[in-house]
Amino acid sequence: MLVKSSLARISAAAILAALAVGTVAPHAAASAVSDDPPLDEALVGVEMDENELDDNLPVLGEPEDAIVPDGEPSEKEPDASTQGLQCKPGWFFKITQNRTNTMDVKYHTFVQNKTSRAIDFKFTSKKSGTTEVGGSVSLSGEMKVAVLGAIKAEINVSAKKSWTSEIGIETAGKVPAKSTAYGDYGILKENVYGYKYHRGSACQKSNKQYMTVWAPYREGWRVS
């Protein structure tokens, strides 16, 4: 598992294996460079404009729409299975699908190698940002606690309520001749689908609402 404190010491190959995803569209180089350099030059570490960032890049290799056994909430009135029971009232979240995880990108850069030989590169994160527990609809503080609890218990114990990315984390590698390498540094989000519901004092469940929710669980480089 990648953690913030160890990212600066692991190899580029390990990072690529852990965070490998599909290629970023090569429009980035054109938007950041006004004049094409001679063919024997290399543009190294050109930073992308912040407006170019896609803050929800898919992370390939993560589970998609994996069905989690689901028990439907009971009706608003207690049924035979809840008669005589007493529960602490509150909001809860039930996961029904584990969806494709995404990266909340905080910094983006690239190396454009126009030479006829491979060159070395080193990327260093220069911007920071925070990703929090959230959902496709607005969540109250109580619901965020319920969402995080469900994700940690059923899907990912590394999930956190809030995660702020670091500055100064490096990764390195080689860019083949006539090629461009793109680097995204950010926070990975565990995305799940399910429903929130309210449990009453008699253990009855009501106010069911389906939504997509997420929680941050890792940060690091994705190089493509």
- pLDDT, one tens digit per residue, over 80-126 is 455 567 888 999 999 999 999 999 999 999 999 999 999 999 999 99
Given its phi and psi angles, is residue 180 left (phi above 0), alpha (psi -120 to 50 degrees) or beta? beta
Q: What local confidence, expressed as pLDDT, does residue 39 receive?
A: 43
Domain coordinates of the chain in residue numbers?
4-223
Provide the pLDDT for residue 157: 97
Per-residue model confidence (pLDDT) at position 175:
97
Confidence band, pLDDT 50/70/90 cuts, at residue 53: low
**CA nearest neighbour of 147 among 101, 193, 204:** 193
pLDDT tens digit sequence for 119-155:
999 999 999 999 999 999 999 999 999 999 999 999 9
Alpha helices in the chain (DSSP H): 12-19, 27-32, 141-154
Q: Which has the minimum average pLDDT: 17-21, 55-59, 198-202, 219-223?
A: 17-21
pLDDT band for position 196 (50/70/90)?
A: very high
